[in-house]
């Protein structure tokens, strides 16, 4: 194959941080090239350099594209050359139609007048290329994330893409949608479209990638061919060490009963008469990590949020107990006072104030803890944040750093710090490792282990079966808003969990979580 792209010793510096340190990358025409690395390794920064988000002159090094120096002044320059990037945060406008989104800024027009019949015709052709049957006039915001991701690819095809960059394209997708996207990548490869994919999902990379470049701490450390690709080798290069164990070793010795939910029910907040949680009962002992598994959409998050201050649903019924006594969890404040904290699955939208610094985010759920006579003590706030920065190994130049500038794994540690500062006895973790790399996952698992060792209880919801099986003392299985089974660590397996679900309703409509 011929070389389409060379990035030679690229360096990029932000205030207080060297994000890239002489990174080199070579991509052959027509291949799918994967880039792996821990959160904060510099993967997305490198692709922003390539795509013109960071223009020529704002970085050191040289880029050669199709045999010519590439000196983009912005994204439009790179798009004119056929280099299109699809960011992890989709850049679609939800209130506009598919056709309007596809040709926004690239309108199908004659003499300054948009030709909607032609735009709709071209939209239909592009949607068929990515396997979508939606009408061109469909409003994007009413479509699922999987379909929106395919629309982004259709938008790239409308710009005559030659090099397509996908940044964590399957991070928010269900399994079926992810498989569909990976199949499309292979189809595009067959059509001659060169692709670069950034992903933490090593099984997906192994499936589609021809070669993998691993970046660690802003430096390229290896490039592996398809024959050399293995999860163990990728992980070793990513984290700089062998990881013989994906989960920390722990001796589980659950103590007395800590947390109990009895016959808990709630209804949909907007759809009258639709019961979401149906008489759920569960418990967690001191020093115990308990998981909740189930199919997508079975009510796991709704259960957690409804318990934590009735943050979801209406018409709540049932009892929540701590240490055998009923507690009032009718508001978030009361739930915190009862010793319960909840780490949301959506850290960016619900867990953090991204434009605020680390120290303000950490103190947010416990302002009384940094106040003296009802006045916030800035020095105390900084001391608390610095303590958690060290304890949880948050990688940052300082606690004044804005959270938006942190990697996903470090953002998750800030969310955990916020809730640990409330001194919870029970910590509910909803998808605690979503979108973070294997090294950061191990650190999160270690925090969970430490909490259990301290005698606290952990209730974990996860869509990753291996981490439920690897971390939990017991696993509850949910289906259609109910608990349909409970498995001890020694008897839990993916097959047994699926058997409980199938036995419950005789059908499966989603993926194992």
| Mode of pairing for the β-strands spanning 163-167 and 113-114 | unpaired
For the purposes of burial, counting CB atoms within 10 Å of the CB of 4, is it exposed (0-12), middle (13-18) or buried (19 or more)?
buried
Within 8 A by CB and 6+ apart from 76, the residues are 52
Helix (H) or strand (E) holding 13: strand 3-14
Query: Are residues 154 and 102 in contact, defined by beta-carbon separation less than 8 angstroms?
Result: yes
For residue 512, the model assigns a pLDDT of: 37
Structural domains in the chain?
3-239 (3.40.50.300), 257-339+424-513 (3.40.50.300), 350-422 (no CATH)
Spatial distance between the Cα atoms of 72 and 89, rounded to a whole number of angstroms: 22
For residue 179, the model assigns a pLDDT of: 86
Spatial distance between the Cα atoms of 456 and 361, rounded to a whole number of angstroms: 23
- Grouping H, G, I as helix, E, B as strand and the rest as coil, residue 306 is helix
Place of tokens 């990728």: 234
Q: List C-alpha distances in Å: 30 to 82, 178, 211.
A: 13, 21, 12
Spatial distance between the Cα atoms of 457 and 425, rounded to a whole number of angstroms: 6
| Sign of the torsion angle spanned by Cα atoms 106, 107, 108, 113 | negative
For residue 241, the model assigns a pLDDT of: 57
Spatial distance between the Cα atoms of 471 and 454, rounded to a whole number of angstroms: 16
For residue 180, the model assigns a pLDDT of: 85
For residue 507, the model assigns a pLDDT of: 44
Query: Are residues 109 and 133 in contact, defined by beta-carbon separation less than 8 angstroms?
Result: no
pLDDT in tens, the chain (513 residues): 699 999 999 999 887 678 899 999 999 999 999 998 876 788 888 999 999 999 999 999 999 999 999 999 998 899 899 999 888 777 889 999 999 998 887 777 777 788 888 889 999 998 988 888 889 999 998 888 788 888 988 888 888 889 999 988 887 677 777 888 899 899 999 999 999 999 877 888 888 999 999 998 888 888 988 888 877 788 778 776 555 567 888 888 899 999 999 999 999 998 888 899 999 999 999 999 999 998 767 889 999 999 999 999 999 999 999 999 999 999 999 999 999 999 998 888 888 999 999 999 999 999 999 998 889 999 999 999 999 999 888 888 899 999 988 877 889 899 999 999 999 999 999 999 877 777 778 888 999 999 999 999 999 999 878 889 999 999 999 988 999 999 999 898 888 887 887 676 544 333 333
For residue 379, the model assigns a pLDDT of: 93
For the purposes of burial, counting CB atoms within 10 Å of the CB of 489, is it exposed (0-12), middle (13-18) or buried (19 or more)?
middle
Q: Return the closest-CA partner of residue 348 out of 400, 433, 415.
A: 415
């Amino acid at each position: 194959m011929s070389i389409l792209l060379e990035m030679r010793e690229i360096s990029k510096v932000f205030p207080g941080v060297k994000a890239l340190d002489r990174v080199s990358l070579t991509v052959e025409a027509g291949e799918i090239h994967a880039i792996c690395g821990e959160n904060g390794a510099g993967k997305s920064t490198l692709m922003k350099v390539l795509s013109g988000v960071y223009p020529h002159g704002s970085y050191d090094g040289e880029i050669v594209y199709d045999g010519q120096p590439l000196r983009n002044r912005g994204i439009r320059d790179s798009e004119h050359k056929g280099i299109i990037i699809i960011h992890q945060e989709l850049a679609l406008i939800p209130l506009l139609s598919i056709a309007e989104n596809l040709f926004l800024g690239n309108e199908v027009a004659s003499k300054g007048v948009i030709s909607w019949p032609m735009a709709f015709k071209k939209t239909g052709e592009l949607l068929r290329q990515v396997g979508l049957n939606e009408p061109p006039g469909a409003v994007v915001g009413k479509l699922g994330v999987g379909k929106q991701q395919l629309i982004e690819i259709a938008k790239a095809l409308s710009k005559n893409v030659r090099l397509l960059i996908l940044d964590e394209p399957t991070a928010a997708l269900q399994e079926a949608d992810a498989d569909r996207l990976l199949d499309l990548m292979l189809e595009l490869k067959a059509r001659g479209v060169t692709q670069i994919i950034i992903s933490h999902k090593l099984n997906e990379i192994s499936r589609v990638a021809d070669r993998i470049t691993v970046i660690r701490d802003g430096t390229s450390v290896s490039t592996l061919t398809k024959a050399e690709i293995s999860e163990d080798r990728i992980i070793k290069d990513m984290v700089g060490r062998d990881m013989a164990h994906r989960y920390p070793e722990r001796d589980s010795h659950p103590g007395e009963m800590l947390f109990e939910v009895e016959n808990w029910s709630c209804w949909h907040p907007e759809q009258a008469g639709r019961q979401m949680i149906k008489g759920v009962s569960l418990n967690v002992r001191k020093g115990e990590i308990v998981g909740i598994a189930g199919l997508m959409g079975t009510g796991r998050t709704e259960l957690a949020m409804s318990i934590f201050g009735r943050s979801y649903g209406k018409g709540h019924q049932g009892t929540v107990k701590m240490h055998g006594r009923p507690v009032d969890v009718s508001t978030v404040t009361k739930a915190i006072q009862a010793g319960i904290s909840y780490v949301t699955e959506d850290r960016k939208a619900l867990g953090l104030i991204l434009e605020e610094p680390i120290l303000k985010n950490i103190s947010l759920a416990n302002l009384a803890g940094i106040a003296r006579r009802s006045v916030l003590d800035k020095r105390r706030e900084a001391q608390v944040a610095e303590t958690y920065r060290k304890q949880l190994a948050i990688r940052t130049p300082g606690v004044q750093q804005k959270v938006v500038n942190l990697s996903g794994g470090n953002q998750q540690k800030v969310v955990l710090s916020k809730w640990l500062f409330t001194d919870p006895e029970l910590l509910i973790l909803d998808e605690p490792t979503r979108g973070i790399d294997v090294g950061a996952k191990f650190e999160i698992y270690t925090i969970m282990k430490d909490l259990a060792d301290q005698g606290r209880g952990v209730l974990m919801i996860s869509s990753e079966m291996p981490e439920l099986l690897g971390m939990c003392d017991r696993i509850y299985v949910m289906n259609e808003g109910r608990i349909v089974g409970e498995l001890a660590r020694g008897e839990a397996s993916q097959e047994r969990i699926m058997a409980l679900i199938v036995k419950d309703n005789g059908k499966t409509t989603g993926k194992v979580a």
